[in-house]
Amino acid sequence: MRSSVLTGASGGTVRQGGKEELRASVLKTYLLRMRTERGERPVAQLLAGAGIDPSAVDNETGWVSTLAAKRALRAISVLLGRDAIRHRGDWVTHPEALGVLVRMLRSSEHPIDAYRYVAEHAREATRVGTWAIEDVARSKRPATHVRMTYRPRADGGDDTGERPDVEGEELLCDARLGELGSLPRIWGLPDADVTHETCIAKGGSECIYDVRWSARSSRKGLIAGAVGAFAICGSTVAIAGGAVAGGLAGVFAAALGATTGFMWDRSREDRSARAFERSRIAALERGLELRGETGVTPTDLTGTVLGAKYRIGRKIGSGGIGVVYAAEHVTLGHEVAVKVLRGAAARDGGEIARLRREAYIQVHVEHPNVVRVLDLDQMPDGSIYVVMERLIGRSLADKLARDGIVAPGHAVAIFTQVCRALDAAHKKDVVHRDLKPGNIFLCEDKLAKVLDFGMSKLASAESLTQAGYTLGTPEYMAPEQCIGAQVEPRTDIYALGVMMYEALTGELPIVATSRRELLDLHQRQIPIPMRQRRPDLPIPEALDLAVMKCLKKRINERPRSASQLEQMLSVVPLEGVPMSYPPGMTRRAAAPQAGTLIREEAKRAQRD
């Protein structure tokens, strides 16, 4: 059992460690709130007064003594109020508070699983007591009502021979109440309603908490919609057309109302699932940050099972740093795609950060035209992997290589969806930075999805690269990106303009024989309009104007947003415009040869 001695603010010593320890996570949410609302200095003073080394709470997986925890909670109750200890609020899902929840979130699907985990793994949070759980309401649906019982350890825990510390025990009881009440927030649900039935601080031998929370979904929306629609519509029609007509109208309206209620319930469940995904990914990211990322991914994972959940199948894609496998969820049976780092990239902090960034962003940017991330986890050796929805189809790059140019009618449909994906990302302050045909996936169901946010930049976050360093694929980089200047949403608009030009004409708007020359030409060369480059193709003038506006050198001359570009595409007259070209109509040979040279040079530069 570990033990240490710290010097308090008064110069005396405070014993910390041994059998009377609690996880530092008991204080973390409160300290995060204080740091945000009051600054670093009050937090430092509070920890010094409690005799706690700041490093002990910077890592929420560390331990502090119950005596020190009580001192800290007293100071917190004075500064934030006693109620703040009972209600942790959104701070429970702050990334820096999630480091202790990695194992719990891996094994949880519903809030009830979290409460069971607390009871079954009490030693992960406390060395002075145990938890027991009683499922009050048992049914086929996940429970929403439990009774949690906390019992102090039989040997007396932190008995110091002094008179009972009633106030300190009450504060610890409040902290336990705050923890139990806040768990549903991980699923995006409101706080649980917690009733403290029996309390140690009031003479009881144990603390009993009755906990109730709302379900992720229920039949209430369906029933309410059906009953409400039947009553309103049925009674209205009955007054005008009689009881029979009113009954029929009511039944029809009830069906519509039930459908509406069902969709509302499903929407609520989806929002909850997405919130849980965000919390789980943030928890794993924090856990990796606290432990450090190590390990090398095996060269081939075919036939293995990752995380006891995903059976790896054939390899469906690979690049210089990563591999994508088709996989199957062993329990649910649905197909997924698993992306892992390989070789030296599995040890490279920058590449790991990009993979985590990709997962984080694609969870937060909720849109049907952005590939959906389902999970982020790590292998026993520490290597991380991302699980995404399995897409059936091919990339735009593959389509251009195999089929040649895209007819205007089809191109407008594709790039309208890309605009919607970009608009959703830009509203979250996310700039993709590496739009290219290989990152646009065309599904068999006609849906287009934007992939690979690994190089993206959060406007509110620090860039993964140093200022002045160019990051992206040179053929599609905007002038400001070519010189390493600040990127913004209209940087993506330029790249989209290059893609549209290439897809519609079979040629890149700007070509060169070297990367350096290409970056220079993107800053000063004005591309030839598409209708002049390919007068043999039926490209509508309005579409040509929209694409050329995207390719403006000055950033403020491009469309203001992806939404505005979508509007420009929506008014392109498509009557009589082909949706597809005959098989013999392909791109010209010279342009792709130049583009291929640049791509090969860019890949060599990135490897170097």
Q: What is the pLDDT of residue 361?
A: 72
Please identify which of the residues 423, 434, 452, 492 carries the catalytic annotation.
434
**pLDDT at residue 132 in the model:** 93
Six-digit token pair at 499? 């893609």
pLDDT tier at 2 (50, 70, 90 boundaries)? very low
> Pick from 176, 149, 203, 147: which is nearest to 66 by CA?
176
Q: What is the pLDDT of residues 467-525, one digit of tens each?
A: 333 456 889 999 998 888 888 999 999 999 999 999 999 999 999 888 888 888 998 99
pLDDT tens string 213-260 = 987 655 554 455 445 554 555 455 455 555 555 556 555 555 665 566
What is the widest separation between alpha-carbon atoms in the chain? 95
Residue 210 contacts residue 147 (beta carbons within 8 Å): yes
> What tokens appear for 10 in the block?
């008064």
Coil/strand/helix, residue 341 = strand
- Distance in angstroms (rounded) separating the CA atoms of residues 30 and 80: 9
Q: What is the three-state SS of 69-124?
A: HHHHHHHHHHHHCHHHHHCCHHHHHCHHHCHHHHHHHHCCCCHHHHHHHHHHCHHH
- Contacts for 330 with CB less than 8 Å, ≥ 6 apart: 305, 308, 309, 310, 311
**Cα–Cα distance, 35 to 52 (Å, whole number):** 16
Q: What is the pLDDT of residues 159-212, one digit of tens each?
A: 444 556 788 889 999 999 999 999 999 988 999 999 998 999 888 899 999 999
Side chain identity at residue 418, one-letter code: V
Q: Are 275 and 320 in contact (CB under 8 A)?
A: no
The CA distance from 67 to 21, in Å, is: 9
pLDDT band at 18 (very low <50, low <70, confident <90, very high): very low
For the residues 78-98, what does the mean pLDDT come to? 89
Report the candidate in 483, 479, 514 with the shortest Cα–Cα distance to residue 494.
479
The 3-state DSSP class for residue 440 equals strand
In CATH, 293-389 is 3.20.20.120:
no
Could you give the residue range(s) of every CATH 3.90.1520.10 domain in the chain? 3-157+166-212
Query: Phi and psi (nearest 5°) for 63?
Result: -125, 145
Residue 425 and residue 365 in contact, taking contact as beta carbons nearer than 8 Å: yes
- Residue 505's pLDDT is what? 95
CA 350 from centre of chain: 19
Does residue 113 carry a catalytic annotation? no
pLDDT band at 364 (very low <50, low <70, confident <90, very high): confident
Q: What residues contact residue 578 under an 8 Å CB cut-off, 6+ apart?
A: 407, 408, 409, 538
pLDDT in tens, 560-577: 999 999 999 999 999 999
Specify whether the CB–CB gap between 226 and 258 falls below 8 A.
yes
Q: Mean pLDDT, to the nearest integer, of 340-350?
A: 55
Residues of the chain with CATH 3.30.200.20: 293-389
* CATH superfamily of this structure's domain 393-460+467-607: Transferase(Phosphotransferase) domain 1 (1.10.510.10)
CATH code of the domain made up of 3-157+166-212? 3.90.1520.10
Instruction: Check: pTM over 0.95? Answer yes or no.
Output: no
Q: What is the pLDDT of residue 465?
A: 37
